[in-house]
Amino acid sequence: MRPISRRSFIGSASTISALGFLTNSTARGDATPADWPGGTAENATFRLMLSPREGLRRTQITYLPSGLVLADGDYSYSFGVPEFKQSRVAESGDGTRTVTLSGGAMGRQLGVLHEFRVPHGEPWFEEQITLSNRSTHPLDLTAASCGFLLPLSLSEKQVSGPWSKFKLTAIPYRRGLGGSRTQYNDFSLGEVLTQEFSFEPMWMDATVTPNYGSEAWALTNGEQGFLLLKYSQTGMEWSVVDRVTLPNGQLALRWGGCGSHYGEPAHGAWLLPGESHQFGVTKVIAYQGGITEGFYTFRREMESLGHGCPKGFDPPVHWNELYDNKLWSLPGEQQGDPEMRKKYYTLDDMKAEAAKAKAIGCEALYLDPGWDTKFASKIWDEARLGPYRDFVAMLKRDYGLKNSLHTPLTGWCDPSAYPLEMYRMDRSGRRLEWEPRRGFNTSPLCQASRQYQEETARRLKMLARDGATFFMFDGNGYHGECWDPQHGHPIPARREEHVQGTRRLARMVHQEYPDVLIEMHSPDPVYYGHGRASADAGYSDALGFDSVWGFELMWEPLDDLLSGRSMALYYYSLAYSLPLYLHIDLRTDNENALVFWWTASTCRHLGIGGTHSNPEVQQAHKSAMTTYRRLKPYYAAGTFYGLDAMTHVHRHPSAASAAINCFNLEDHAVERSVEFDLAHVGLDPGRQYLVQGARGRRSGKMCRFEIGIPSQGHRLIVIE
């Protein structure tokens, strides 16, 4: 719940077969690979010209429908041009060609496996690189980078020629939380060639990096686009774009391949003798359209890999007691003070909050810090609140509510709730200590410790057994290395092992309680550790987390929206159907329930709390909740479309119907005309529709309506 930098939250780990990993081509019954001296591998969309016997010199990639050249020059290897001793090609029964190049660099100390896959009848191709240490000493590859080169002509920091109108847009974080309403992560190719990258999507402590990194990039001129996607479940990776100066002084855009961003993937940066690291797959997908279509292309790809909204997703709407609870507003960290908990977090207090939840129409009471014996102990305080099983039964019997719990991990907790042997150890063998005066976000607990994971899983499963329906994995920040050989992790355990621990813990709980929803704070990349993990011993059958945190936009949500910070929720929804969860403080909302509807429209799992001081606003929230509950399938399990940032369409998951949310952030009322192609929002143009909530008309496949929206207000339209 407290802002921690992206670098502190980063990642997770598991192994999922994804994007049709290139090395699996022969295992699918494809033809035996044959020696291949080089030439072309192509489909109807892309032609790759490769010269393996020359170390991929004069590599060229052409987009065949227009002849646009995406790469033209020697493939860039920072560790030297490999000498490929083997180059083979295999063609599957469906016409897919897989090219495998195997050789060495750095005097053959570094093994290089470079693979390409060009499917028949699809608008994409893939590449993947594996590096191996063949030497007798460690290899430092922290600065290693590879990629295709696109030479560009530059004049006054502007690119000329056919690429002059193309821009790179970051997906899913086109909009970060910092900056103004007009600042977006759209970059001209001239900017990429001449400027460093300064961006922090999660929080506002922007870090400058020499390369541009994102889960994916939409490279588009508004009519034609290319999605540059990186995907890996064995190391935190990003699609990296930077620049290279050619021998003639010309600048070239470098993309694809592999490279380090924010110090990751760490496991590929330092290879011991005999070790190897397979970097993630780069996938290049051609599509028609601009930025929005690029987001949709990314979303379809993530859904095909299992990172989407589960069918029939129906999470309970939360009422968060925190906003009206005086415990949280105490200065310092008195939320953990046993005496303050006895005073402000009693059974009667929670019954009062349950009554509020029932009155407004929520489906679960969410308990934030205060319910356990110590902060983040995950042990129900029975002495203060009675047995947990009885508490859950009381909520269901008296209020018709489920129960959800805040369960932060090692990054933000009272570590004294766990044995000392679970604390981190430094490289000299000294056990770290905790100084309470430094606060809960300085915990020395080791998230990578198997002992911590097993004990935490035991505590969570006891709560799930007794009726908990939701756990929030807050507090998953990384605080440093651990050198304890008894913890069951590699020595030292670093960020990668830490985030593996957070994802493994979700699977440990889901192994026995698959229906308990688990929210993961700020995984980055978002998909990392989501889904099943075939290599996670003992838990491969269990799914990882269920939803992703809504970027801490919970404290001043109206200001977040009006300032533009909450645009991050909109662009996430364009990029992912993997559910987003957020609870908001209704005390900051207005009489139009603007914040309520924005959050409902962009977060598939909705949480609210806080009693507004104005009775009219209270009534607006109650009315909004009644409408939301009636239309909940549209928002929780439907398909999200953005006509623009202020006009959101939610197609029903099964019916020929859609809910449309229209927003106005200006300080005056507006009249707006909205026109769209029914097919573009998943509706059959051959059917007749009734428009409710606006003056609408139909012309062929196009639907048009006129609507007035009050100042800082919202209007809802339903088409069915």
User: In this structure, what DSSP letter does residue 399 have?
Assistant: I
Given a contact cutoff of 8 angstroms between Cβ atoms, the answer to whether 438 and 430 are in contact is no
What is residue 575's three-state secondary structure?
A: helix
In this structure, what are the phi and psi dihedrals at residue 603, rounded to the nearest 5 degrees?
A: -125, 115
What is residue 468's three-state secondary structure?
A: strand
Which pLDDT score is estimated for 199?
Answer: 66
* Structure-block tokens of residue 698: 């139909």
Give me the residues paired with residue 664 across strands: 713
In this structure, what are the phi and psi dihedrals at residue 542, rounded to the nearest 5 degrees?
A: -95, 145
Name the CATH architecture for the domain at 639-719: Sandwich (2.60)
User: Per-residue pLDDT tens for 89-138?
Assistant: 999 989 999 999 999 999 999 999 999 999 999 999 999 999 999 999 99
Which pLDDT score is estimated for 19?
Answer: 38
Give per-10-residue mean pLDDT for the chain (720 aa): 35 34 43 87 97 95 98 96 95 93 96 97 97 96 94 92 96 82 88 85 67 95 98 93 94 95 88 95 98 98 97 97 94 88 96 98 97 97 98 98 98 97 97 94 96 98 98 95 97 94 95 97 91 68 93 95 94 98 98 98 98 97 98 98 97 97 97 95 94 90 94 97
- Checking phi first, is residue 564 left (phi over 0); if not, alpha (psi -120 to 50) or beta? left
Q: Where are the domains of the chain?
A: 6-10+33-304, 421-549, 639-719
Which pLDDT score is estimated for 210?
Answer: 87
Which pLDDT score is estimated for 261?
Answer: 87
In this structure, what are the phi and psi dihedrals at residue 497, rounded to the nearest 5 degrees?
A: -65, -35
Which pLDDT score is estimated for 8?
Answer: 36
If you search the block for the tokens 């030497």, which residue do you land on? 135
Alpha-helical segments (H) within 216-334: 291-304
Q: Count CA within 13 A, CB hemisphere, residue 410.
A: 30
Q: Using only C-alpha atoms, what is the Rg of the chain?
A: 27
Q: How far apart are CA 97 and CA 89, in angstroms?
A: 7
Which pLDDT score is estimated for 558?
Answer: 97
Which pLDDT score is estimated for 9?
Answer: 31
C-alpha of 53 from chain center: 40
Q: How far apart are CA 565 and CA 197, in angstroms?
A: 19
| Amino acid (one-letter) located at 452 | Y
Which pLDDT score is estimated for 596?
Answer: 98
| Amino acid (one-letter) located at 201 | P
Helix axes 567-575, 594-602, angle to 10 degrees: 20
Name which of 272, 280, 235, 271 is nearest 495 in CA terms: 235
Which pLDDT score is estimated for 702?
Answer: 94
Name which of 689, 613, 501, 53 is nearest 621 in CA terms: 613
Please, what CATH class does the domain formed by 6-10+33-304 belong to?
mainly beta
Q: Count CA within 13 A, CB hemisphere, residue 175.
A: 22
Given a contact cutoff of 8 angstroms between Cβ atoms, the answer to whether 401 and 358 are in contact is yes
In terms of Cβ atoms closer than 10 Å to its own Cβ (0-12, 13-18, 19+), residue 616 is exposed
* Residues in contact with 266: Cβ distance below 8 Å, sequence separation at least 6, in sequence order: 235, 236, 494, 495, 496
In terms of Cβ atoms closer than 10 Å to its own Cβ (0-12, 13-18, 19+), residue 31 is middle
How many helices and strands (H and E) does the chain possess? 13, 42
Q: How far apart are CA 445 and CA 428, in angstroms?
A: 17
Name which of 487, 502, 491 is nearest 533 in CA terms: 502
Given a contact cutoff of 8 angstroms between Cβ atoms, the answer to whether 256 and 88 are in contact is no
Which pLDDT score is estimated for 209?
Answer: 84
